[in-house]
Amino acid sequence: MVEKNKDKLVKEITSMDENFSQWYTDVVSKTELVDYSPVKGFMVIRPYGYAIWENIQAAYDKRFKETGHKNMYFPLLIPESLLNKEAQHVEGFAPEVAWVTHGGNRKLEERLCVRPTSETIICSMYSKWLHTYRQLPYLYNQWCSVVRWEKTTRPFLRTSEFLWQEGHTLHETPEEAQEETMQMINIYREVAENVLAMPVVVGLKSEKEKFAGADKTYTMEALMHDGQALQSGTSHNLGQNFTKAFDIQYLDRNNEQTNPYHTSWGVSTRLIGGIIMVHGDDKGLNLPPAIAPIQVVVLPIAQHKEGVLDKAYEIKKALETNFRVEIDDSDNSPGWKFNQWEMKGVPIRLEIGPRDIKNNQCILARRDTGEKIAVPLDELETTLKELLDAIQQNLFDKALKMREEKTSVALNMTEFEKNLKENPGFIKAMWCGDETCEDSIKEETGATLRCIPLEDEQEILGEGKCVCCDKPADKMAYFARAY
């Protein structure tokens, strides 16, 4: 019975304010999203975590296909000589790849790296397939895992292996490539905001922070509860860097051999880390209904009494068509169950007991606000739908409010450091564009340039002078400490 009681405790989660990092670790492990594996830096994504990923995948995959992209699959292993073909790219990735040196019992003639990203192997095939402009655009995507050897790892946020998608497209003109780059970062944003309820700032990465081999990298950056930023998705305009290095040529409309323009873009299981740190609280997870593996958990109250379990199962069965619903008829106490399912972040708890049955109603409790309402059973579906929509919206609104409260303006480095100390979060500041200033800010404060917002979200702060060197600056940028 000792074993039994052990299972019956809802395990304590460290308070966010006390130790945010420990809070995160507690939440991901106690809600059984992930576990650490026997391989250092590699995580196991458990069923509850994987179900969130499946819902995120479905949301993105649908939009990729609606915009004409198709999926495909390229080899896991990439020959060293291919990786070496694009100079900036290899410089960026070589230090963090895993090398396969033996196949079966034999030493390989050439080392193969486990893909850290697939531009090189995909370009080597595109160069074989593309002949004429009539084949363009190439709009392809791949869902897979990638490996990047990391020294310090945290589940979902930075692990030596993670799951992601990588889009790889080719276009006739630089304008079309730029349009695609923007279309994809906008799709990333739309899903982040409307499905994950996670507001993001979209903008351009600095030269220093862009993808190894890209002309331009666009990013979406979300702000976590502790005031740190999370790079949540990137879309790269790769120009002709790879298409020239890999000799991808086609006969264009003028009957001339030419190199196409190229983009790539990716989001990963990192998004799950974002969802946890944007919406979670001291009770645990707080999942947006659109991606919650369980949207409604049915808890029979006094389940030993006649008719309660039957009714609970009847309700579950009726709801299953339109909602992701589970029932908890374990012999744990109601109090334990309340805590357990709150910790798991299930948006709505549905309680049904003998008195409710008599009144032909049930009780719905919201995870986000704690609010409880009694609902007539014949209005249940409609109310649930409204409630889930309301929760989805409320989570977004709360996250946006949090981000706004944690976003400040700094006109000089004194303000910058003061803000970062007193109200950690995004700092909006003018930047002259000089990498020396970017480096100096990072060195002094630990904050990095997260992104330079797009035209329509740009503004001139103060007198338009660089927060660091005081020289004229025409761009505002977001800075933050980041994961």
Residue whose CB is less far from its own copies, 269 or 392: 269
* 145 binds its own copies, rule: CB under 8 A: yes
Amino acid at site 447: A
Residue whose CB is less far from its own copies, 54 or 459: 54
Number of residues that bind its own copies (CB under 8 A): 61
* 76 binds its own copies, rule: CB under 8 A: yes
Map the footprint of its own copies across residues 18-37, applying CB under 8 A.
35, 37
We find the least distance from the C-beta atom of residue 296 to its own copies, in angstroms, to be: 18
Map the footprint of its own copies across residues 243-272, applying CB under 8 A.
251
The pair of structure tokens assigned to 188 is: 């990333």
- The DSSP code for 331 is S
Residue whose CB is less far from its own copies, 20 or 143: 143
- φ and ψ at 135, to 5 degrees? -85, -15
- The DSSP code for 153 is -
Q: Is 149 left (phi over 0), alpha (psi -120 to 50) or beta?
A: beta
Residue whose CB is less far from its own copies, 11 or 99: 99
Residue whose CB is less far from its own copies, 128 or 471: 128
382 to 322, 385, 387, 388, 389: CA distances (angstroms): 11, 5, 9, 10, 11
We find the least distance from the C-beta atom of residue 64 to its own copies, in angstroms, to be: 12
Task: Choose, by CB under 8 A, the member of 6, 304, 358, 421 that binds its own copies.
Answer: 6
Amino acid at site 356: D
* 66 binds its own copies, rule: CB under 8 A: no
HSE, side-chain direction, 13 A CA sphere, residue 164:
27
Amino acid at site 290: A
Say which residues have a Cβ less than 8 Å from residue 352's Cβ, sequence separation at least 6. 298, 299, 300, 301, 308, 311, 312, 315, 362, 363
Residue whose CB is less far from its own copies, 256 or 443: 256
* 323 binds its own copies, rule: CB under 8 A: no
The C-alpha R_g of the chain, in whole angstroms, comes to 25
Residue labelled with tokens 């002709």: 240
- CA-to-CA distance for 135 and 137, rounded, in angstroms? 6
Residue labelled with tokens 């007539």: 376
Task: Choose, by CB under 8 A, the member of 20, 29, 42, 366 that binds its own copies.
Answer: 42
Task: Choose, by CB under 8 A, the member of 17, 22, 75, 307 that binds its own copies.
Answer: 75
What SS3 state is found at 399?
Answer: helix
* 51 binds its own copies, rule: CB under 8 A: yes
- CA-to-CA distance for 483 and 446, rounded, in angstroms? 11
Task: Choose, by CB under 8 A, the member of 14, 77, 190, 314 that binds its own copies.
Answer: 77
* 125 binds its own copies, rule: CB under 8 A: yes
* 454 binds its own copies, rule: CB under 8 A: no
DSSP labels for 78-90? EEHHHHTTSHHHH
We find the least distance from the C-beta atom of residue 114 to its own copies, in angstroms, to be: 7
Only one of the segments 42-50, 341-349, 354-362, 446-454 lies at the binding site for its own copies (rule: CB under 8 A); that segment is: 42-50
The pair of structure tokens assigned to 81 is: 């000589």
* 372 binds its own copies, rule: CB under 8 A: no
The pair of structure tokens assigned to 149 is: 């050897």
The pair of structure tokens assigned to 103 is: 């196949």
* 46 binds its own copies, rule: CB under 8 A: yes
* 294 binds its own copies, rule: CB under 8 A: no
Give the interface with its own copies as residue ranges (CB under 8 A): 3-4, 6-7, 35, 37-39, 42-47, 49-51, 53-54, 70-79, 82, 95-105, 112, 114, 121, 124-125, 128-129, 131-132, 134, 140, 144-145, 147, 149, 160-161, 163, 251, 330
